[in-house]
Amino acid sequence: MKINCKTGFMSFLMIASVLIIFLVAPEKVEAEPQCIGLCGMIFDCPTACIRMGYQSGQCVGWENPDQCCCDH
């Protein structure tokens, strides 16, 4: 009977520790902005930003198209 209690208690500790890790871990991790391409290859930076999955205002190229290029 004692062995079953120890096994159950250890299982409970493992499950509780995994739950605590998930509760403490940050919910959302933001990725670093990716380079969209070279300035000579991109003529319409806002369209390229949308194709990369950025929404309005998220891509640095909305205000300055050269900022979403790698060769600056």
Residue 37 φ then ψ, to 5°: 160, -175
Per residue in 7-61, pLDDT (tens digit) is 888 898 999 988 887 777 666 555 555 566 655 555 666 676 677 666 655 555 5
Domain ranges in the chain? 2-68
Per residue in 48-70, pLDDT (tens digit) is 667 766 665 555 555 555 455 55
At residue 38's C-alpha, the angle toward residues 37 and 43, to 5°, is 90
For the entire predicted model, the pTM comes to: 0.33
Residue 41 φ then ψ, to 5°: -95, -15
At residue 23's C-alpha, the angle toward residues 25 and 15, to 5°, is 115
What's the half-sphere exposure (Cβ side, CA atoms, 13 Å) at 61? 26
